[in-house]
Amino acid sequence: MARRTTRDGSTDRSKVAIADLAARLVEEGEIDYRAAAQKAARQLGFDRNQPLPDALEIDAALRNRQALFAAESQPQVLNVLRGEALRVMRELDQFSPWLVGPVLTGTANQFSEIELELVGIEPKHVEMYLLGRGIQFDAEDGGRAPRRASRSAVPIARYSLTWAGLPVAIALFEHHAARQTVFPQGHLRHDRVQRDEAVKRFGLD
């Protein structure tokens, strides 16, 4: 296990251990990185004052684990998910969907959802479209706003559905500025692409 040092020069093995276990939990289906870190810390016996690794540290640990233990299988699963993501984006083309999350960044595995975002779209339009094509879905409110952020800074709605046997999650944001508030520059989930750019990145169509 690689060592990391804090500012005073001491080795912070605890955060490394938590990051590694959190990465394993993410591999096993935990979506929320912070929740994975909290669960990992509890399982390792640390108290609440223990500093937790951030999302970027967990993501790095996840990539290391995938390189070590799933160097052949994970890229195959990722390609399948990316191919289906492009098909879903084509289906939703009138809403100009954005691809986000592990399928975009490359850490997706067999437990990952295809995550899409729509901006400036009324929920009823999405729902009517899905219903008109016989696509079953579950809908929920966007959720709580981050601390010191307005309610409009979170998705106004979320949808979960199944596409070609794969889970798809769709989040609707009121406008682009709201989305940037939630995932600013430097955030692990800041990156997003529309279909044409995704095709270029993936080399698929």
Domain spans of the chain, in order of start:
13-69, 73-202
> What pLDDT, on a 0 to 100 scale, did the predictor assign at position 204?
81
What does each of the 205 residues of the chain score in pLDDT, given as a tens digit?
Answer: 444 444 543 348 999 999 999 999 999 999 899 999 999 999 999 998 999 999 999 999 999 999 999 999 999 999 999 999 999 999 999 999 999 999 999 999 999 999 999 999 999 999 999 999 999 999 986 544 444 444 445 799 999 999 989 999 999 999 999 999 989 988 989 999 999 999 999 998 6
Contacts of 68 (CB under 8 A, 6+ apart): none
CA–CA gap between residue 8 and residue 22 (Å, rounded)? 25
| Confidence (pTM) | 0.85
| Amino acid (1-letter code) at residue 5 | T
Domain 73-202 fold is Beta Polymerase; domain 2 (3.30.460)
CA–CA gap between residue 160 and residue 100 (Å, rounded)? 15
> What pLDDT, on a 0 to 100 scale, did the predictor assign at position 82?
97
> What pLDDT, on a 0 to 100 scale, did the predictor assign at position 68?
96
Q: DSSP string of 123-152?
A: HHHHHHHHHHTT--EEEE---PPPTT--GG
> What pLDDT, on a 0 to 100 scale, did the predictor assign at position 154?
77
